[in-house]
Structure 1
Amino acid sequence: MSIFNTPSQPQGLAGQFAADSAYAAVDVFIGTGGDGHCHPGATRPFGMVQLGPDTQHRHHRQAYPWCAGYRYEDDSILGFSHTHFSGTGHGDLGDVLLMPFTGPTRLEPGYPERALSGYRSRFSHEQERAQPGYYAVRLLDHEVDVELTCSDRVGLHRYHFEPGAQPKLLLDLRSSVYHHPGKNLWSRLRLRTPQLLTGMRETRGWAAGRQLFFAIEFARPLARHEFHNTETDVEYRGFRTPGREPHQKRVLEGRALVAAFEFDIPADQQLLLKVGISAVSEEGAIANLAELPGWDFEAQRQAAAQAWADTLAVLDIAADPALRSSLYTAHYHACQAPSLFMDLDGRYRGPDNAVHQAQDFGPGFRYHSTFSLWDTYRALHPWLLLTQSGERNSDFINSLLASQRHSPHGILPVWQFHGLETWCMIGYHALPVIADAYLKGLRGFDAQAALAAMQASAEYAPYGGIGDYLQYGYVPFDKEGEGASKTLEYSFDDWTLARMAEALGEDSLAARYYLRAQSFRQLLDPATGFVRGKSSEGQFRLPFDPTAAGYGSDYTEGSAWQYSWYMPHDCAALVGNLGGDAGLVQRLDQIFEAETNPKMYSHMEDISGLIGHYAHGNEPSHHIAYLYAYAGAPWKTQQRLSQILPMQYASGPAGLAGNDDLGQMSAWLLFTALGLYPVAPGSNEYVIGRPFVQRASLTLPNGRVFTVRAEGLGPGHDYIGAVHLNGQAHDVSYLRHADLMAGGELVFSMQAEPNRAWASAPAARPYSQTPYPAA
């Protein structure tokens, strides 16, 4: 009998995680459709394994919609691989693709529109289930039910075959999800015993030279196996030729390896197997199997569920059911990266592609990778500081510092996964992550070593026009592409370095970087109000089109309409460039009230979620609605957030307007729903927006509880009438980090009409207490 004719949860889970629990509120399919690029597979919080389905696209040149390997709109499954990104704008991974099947052995995946043209299978969402730490689906063409769960480093599979069916399994070590020509540099299969198979693959995808090793342990011995190199085997071109003997080698190496296995028919019609992965060696993958002992699938599923229940328990939310589900799902997405990338014995592979020992960096250290820093420094890492332990956050910082120590370039990661640098995006945004953590009290790392690592990144001239930035005081467009964006982001990063140096008593170093943090002023154009690209001769680019976006322009994944407001450390300069408070309010209104024209930015995949020129589907816009508070108009922030959140977030697979970007989109939703947002990480302030929940309690790492409560919240009541912190009137449009960490209650009184007097005075504005140098 199919598992889909039985209750959706085993008895232990059904009793422990009630229908109204945080665990049950998570909908792992949110963001798996549209442009969300989220993956629904089984993983643990910040786990190394992300085990789940791949629904391959038809052609590798159309890879963007399948960055996560899975797309909800598809109706066939290629197989189940053990590594995935969730929410990126770039595709890779898909390692160790396994597919259970019955009938003839086919070595090619086939075509989605042609049943049984290959080993892929059709599936239906009616016979698909997923919860945190668990995924299940019925493969319709093979009549096999698949269940998946995992520990941190090991995936556990359970397959249910129909009575009398011959259980078979295919392993594809080619380019897996993407089948990019030439992506595989090398791979290996090694049958060590009838119950243990090991191997590896080395790829040159997003991260060149990435190595991934694996060990597969079968619960029952193999009855038969065959290894094939489809690049060289003349008798195999997609289908096995009748009458030919299979390749029953015990070891095979090459660039295009596929293996097929048969098992004796089990009495219970079940086949179980484990897959351990490692970046170090096959022996490391074998050793990692010890993390998941035995073959009790239900116990392991329950352990994965409990790990997620504990992670989700820091939030206690009372809200509309759809929003409550979106928020718990957002926290689930926010707790997937940075992900563990270290073997049980403490070994890991660094950006030098060499193996290192954890004890070299201190006792208890757990190395993590997958840092999408251009995205996640803005809100994800500030969120993790509030919701994860000091040990976990210290691991993140120490992983950045370990990577800098191992880097051939001596710098902190830019966009790193599986230990290797991709050089994707701009900025040196490990700096705000480190500075924000230190300034908020995290002490589980060497602050002086961190400061030195931050400075090494800020001074690395070969990267991203930094040499020109140091020479000219900005990045000239005739020297480096996207120079305006780079100047703005380098300026902010320099400010966070200055803040860190000042906190450590390095006053002369702080003064130097406070001065560099003003570099963005070089590109302010008072005539137009925009930030504009400037040549090495000091001339603004002509002609000027504020809608010019992306590749070949002065802006990274955006236009002047999205990027010109990015100086969160010095919004006074922004106000001054626009002629005062009224000028900033007017320009922000123009952004949101412009006619929305998707075709204007259609050449840029990441510019999505448009409201006028505001593009919520990409990070440069994420702080914009909060800027009204800097001009003394926080009620306008409340108005815009009431417009943005319902339009950009929803239940269902298409519930995200753009890539989740490893949790940044989710972190924006979480902060915003609670009424706060960290516009400038490193400032120790959160700008107050407006709440969208009736109540939310956050259990902080220090054990205290901070509660947000909204009185009078309801349809049409979008504006703040008053705010009270622990019973005292709170008449400023920001909340200090120290006040939040002290615990207590922030109460919003909501009403139908804006209170234009609340927090409008200059002294009530965010960062108004911080002096800025004159222009």
Structure 2
Amino acid sequence: MKRSLILCLFIVPALCIAQNQPDGNLVQFVNPLIGTHKMGHTYPGATVPFGMVQLSPETDTLLYDHQGKYNGPVYKYCAGYQYDDPTIVGFSHTHFSGTGHSDLGDFLIMPTEGALQLNPGTEAHPEKGYRSVFSHQNEVAEPGYYKVLLDDHQITAELTASNRVGFHQYTFPASDRSHIILDLISGIYNYEDKNVWTFVRVENDTLITGYRQTTGWARTRTVYFAMSFSKPFYQYGNMDYSKPQVYKGFWGKFDQRKNFPETAGRQIRMYFDFKTTAGEKVKIKFALSPVSTEGALQNMKAEVPHWDFERVKKEAQSLWNQALSKVTVNTEKRDDKINFYTAMYHTFLGPTTYMDVNGSYRGLDQLNHTAADFTNYTTFSLWDTYRALHPLFNILQPKRNADMVKSMLAHYEQSVHPMLPVWSHHANENWCMIGYHSVSVIADAAIKGNAGFDAQKALDACVTTARQKFYGGLDSYMAMGYVPDEKNASSVSMTLEYAYDDWCIAQLAKKLGRQEIHDEFMKRSANWKNVFDASIGYTRPRLANGSFRKEFDVLSTHGQGFIEGNAWNYSLYVPHDPDAMIRLMGGPKRFVTHLDSLFTMYLPDKFFAETEDITREGIIGNYVHGNEPAHHVAYLYNWAGQPWKTQERVRMILKKQYQASPDGLGGNDDCGQMSAWYIFSSLGFYPVAPGSDQYAIGSPAVQNATLKLENGNTLTIEARNQGDKNVYVQKVEVNGVVLKRLYLTHAEIMDGGKITFYMGAKPKK
């Protein structure tokens, strides 16, 4: 008995230590299902870091189903997958991760067995279409790999991917009626008029090529494909749902619906028939190109010239392990490690590659270009990602981030009105959200020494963008110092965000010795004061005549001059000058009271009635973590002389807003911004004002972490006496020297060495 007890006492600590040791197989700590339930809007399918193909299941895509039933707000299916849905419609090749708007979902493939059905059916009656019931018990989601059993067809579906090629593997039962359906109608944010045109060419009995043109969030988007089967089909056909079943006109002399080599139309579904034996695997390689079917074929030949599914899966997961190993962490609990590495995974999903292997890509001008000395990227959700994602890349992915800036500069050069991207994807600008936050990304990279681009040229692009009078009330902003309430419903938010971006331009101009530009934009950066009403202590809509709007509710989110926020939380958005903001709000003591109330107050029900994208479960008081304008707010206590409150708030947010479960994100992941916040905050610091080289000190949630930097240096972060109750920082040492300020510098991080946090259970005041 005593011997057994001694053995247990030895084994249990050993197991705990082993669980938290760095592991070369970091993929095991990633759960792609996190964020797939409710508002996270992530997808669980297969992709590689920054991959052009995102091959993932769709549980639904439509605002309205095929019987006219309302499926809920269009943003419910931003990623095409909702964890609580019982059926899968198929597997498509392009997806956004964590957005609050919808598009993509190109080229949906579905394997079926039995009677051929070319409509998707409904969730209530999947048997009336090609969709299938599935169970999460028979579902596997890993980085670079996805697997599920389609119950209604008894087909096991497996997915993996290279950068530009999706690889499908379907295990069929014995049947003479096995089908692969290619649905060119289906798409996320799918209205009847989304498809402009589709074209399919059957090259031979194993190779299909074609393209799809759509209009949606991206107004004019064309994607080309090449589809190759591992075995020949014995027959094929199509149905064009935009035409009568009897084809008329010149082409009516042919029956185009069966075994006809070319098909074109707006609403096309194809099918390919096979005879399969029990357990036979039919494989598909599906390559994409932004330029041509020839480009898609070249991408396929270059990246996956074979039929070894396991090899592609292994290569994809090796790429993920390389990316994830940029940071190795030890945590008290396994769930914390899962949250950390899943956040790492989500931050490395985008922006996505947007060019062929030979460098060809479609530009904003809808012409073909070649990226000679950089990788061209797309999917820039900049209103979200300038805050923490791109600053994180300047530490962990500096070469990629420099190429992303080059991609933004190419966008600028291809624009009719020279302007850096606002929210761009797939050779389109959709103008979503506000500000011109490309300038923040560019300034942050250059100021932190990551200017793998022409910084002077980039500054010129920033200045031209900030002077474009056609955009978002900038004419009034430049003339009056603010955007008038009559000009735009988000006038206050616009003014605040323009002022921050202007400060970024000023910092870049200072670094490059452009004094005149620096002075102009430093003056503009103070424009936030023009919408601050000192009589009430909040920012407030201001009219063109100079007066503040009379009818005003500081808690309302609707029609009050703000976007994704209200006066109570958006008044805290002055990341570039928090000291002046605190003075205007009545000084540190009054400011802390306001900040405390943000986390503790109770919002009235009307707050939730005004917007579809916020629920009580996603907020803490009036602090809405899923809405990015608040992401820096917890760190503002540092400027008010009470850093211990930053420390306890940050740890509370980490615990409440991030869980190792499908509903574990308290809001849209927003192309990695929510996850980037988690990574920075878990490591103990955060970039409150990108464009500065400073990171505000928080409260690390890891026991220790090692960052392997691209410059060859290694940074070790250690949190001594770490624990759930020990959230307060007693002191910080950088390479053994006590830090006597509340921030780290970029140089202190990139030079490597060791940062040690000493933690305790009581505030260090």
Aligned match for 1:636, one of 645, 656, 679? 645
Q: Are 1:724 and 2:733 an aligned pair?
A: yes
CA distance in 1, matches of 2:326, 2:176: 46
- Alignment correspondent of 1:312: 324
- Alignment correspondent of 2:30: 26
Alignment deviations for residues 635-690 of structure 1 (CA, whole Å, 9 cap, x no partner)? 11112113221111111100000000000000000000111000000110000011
Structure 2 counterparts to residues 74-473 of structure 1, below 5 A:
74-164=85-175, 166-234=177-245, 246-265=257-276, 269-290=280-301, 291-319=303-331, 320-359=333-372, 363=373, 365-388=374-397, 390-473=398-481
- Alignment correspondent of 1:8: none
Contact 1:287-1:344 at 8 Å conserved across structures: yes
SS of residue matched to 1:135: strand
- Further displaced range: 627-636 or 599-608: 599-608
- Alignment correspondent of 2:537: 529
Aligned match for 1:573, one of 566, 574, 580? 580
Contact 1:219-1:295 at 8 Å conserved across structures: yes
- Alignment correspondent of 1:68: 79
Deviation, structure 1 residue 19:
7.7
Deviation, structure 1 residue 598:
5.5
CA distance in 2, matches of 1:603, 1:34: 18
- Further displaced range: 278-287 or 687-696: 278-287
Contact 1:720-1:748 at 8 Å conserved across structures: yes
Deviation, structure 1 residue 222:
1.8
- Alignment correspondent of 1:513: 521
SS of residue matched to 2:224: strand
SS of residue matched to 1:166: strand
- Alignment correspondent of 1:556: 563
> For residues 452 and 708 of structure 1, do their structure 2 counterparts lie closer, same or farther at Cα, with a shift above 3 Å needed?
same
**TM-score (norm: length of structure 2):** 0.93
CA distance in 2, matches of 1:594, 1:711: 34
Contact 1:557-1:607 at 8 Å conserved across structures: no
- Further displaced range: 663-672 or 727-736: 727-736
Which stretches in structure 1 are left out of the alignment for 5+ residues? 1-16, 237-243, 757-775
Deviation, structure 1 residue 480:
1.9
Contact 1:214-1:278 at 8 Å conserved across structures: yes
Aligned match for 2:746, one of 709, 714, 737? 737
CA distance in 1, matches of 2:547, 2:156: 65
CA distance in 1, matches of 2:399, 2:578: 34
Contact 1:32-1:654 at 8 Å conserved across structures: yes
Structure 2 counterparts to residues 629-668 of structure 1, below 5 A:
629-668=638-677
Deviation, structure 1 residue 481:
2.1
Contact 2:78-2:188 at 8 Å conserved across structures: no
Alignment deviations for residues 554-600 of structure 1 (CA, whole Å, 9 cap, x no partner)? 00111111210111111122111112111211110111111144552
CA distance in 2, matches of 1:38, 1:265: 34
Aligned match for 1:501, one of 509, 515, 519? 509
Contact 2:140-2:146 at 8 Å conserved across structures: yes
Structure 2 counterparts to residues 544-693 of structure 1, below 5 A:
544-550=552-558, 552-597=559-604, 599-608=606-615, 609-693=618-702
Contact 2:62-2:188 at 8 Å conserved across structures: no
CA distance in 1, matches of 2:152, 2:460: 58
Contact 1:521-1:573 at 8 Å conserved across structures: no
Deviation, structure 1 residue 314:
0.7
Alignment deviations for residues 299-332 of structure 1 (CA, whole Å, 9 cap, x no partner)? 1100000000000001111012111100000000
Letter in 2 for 1:176: G
- Alignment correspondent of 2:484: 476
Deviation, structure 1 residue 391:
2.7
Alignment deviations for residues 91-149 of structure 1 (CA, whole Å, 9 cap, x no partner)? 11000100000111111100112141100001000101011001111100011001111
CA distance in 2, matches of 1:448, 1:554: 35
Deviation, structure 1 residue 603:
2.5
**TM-score (norm: length of structure 1):** 0.92
CA distance in 1, matches of 2:154, 2:557: 49
CA RMSD, 1 decimal? 1.7
SS of residue matched to 2:203: strand
Contact 2:175-2:275 at 8 Å conserved across structures: no
CA distance in 1, matches of 2:50, 2:541: 39
Letter in 1 for 2:313: R
Contact 2:173-2:276 at 8 Å conserved across structures: no
SS of residue matched to 2:177: coil
Deviation, structure 1 residue 266:
5.3
CA distance in 2, matches of 1:596, 1:328: 33
CA distance in 1, matches of 2:283, 2:704: 44
SS of residue matched to 1:116: helix
Contact 2:599-2:620 at 8 Å conserved across structures: yes
CA distance in 1, matches of 2:484, 2:684: 39
The count of aligned residue pairs is: 727
SS of residue matched to 2:554: coil
Deviation, structure 1 residue 207:
0.6
CA distance in 2, matches of 1:603, 1:496: 33
Aligned-residue sequence identity (percent) comes to 44
CA distance in 1, matches of 2:352, 2:400: 11
- Further displaced range: 71-80 or 281-290: 281-290
Contact 1:379-1:668 at 8 Å conserved across structures: yes
Alignment deviations for residues 72-109 of structure 1 (CA, whole Å, 9 cap, x no partner)? 11110000000001100011100010000011111110
Aligned match for 1:50, one of 54, 57, 65? 54
CA distance in 2, matches of 1:718, 1:504: 41
Letter in 2 for 1:75: P
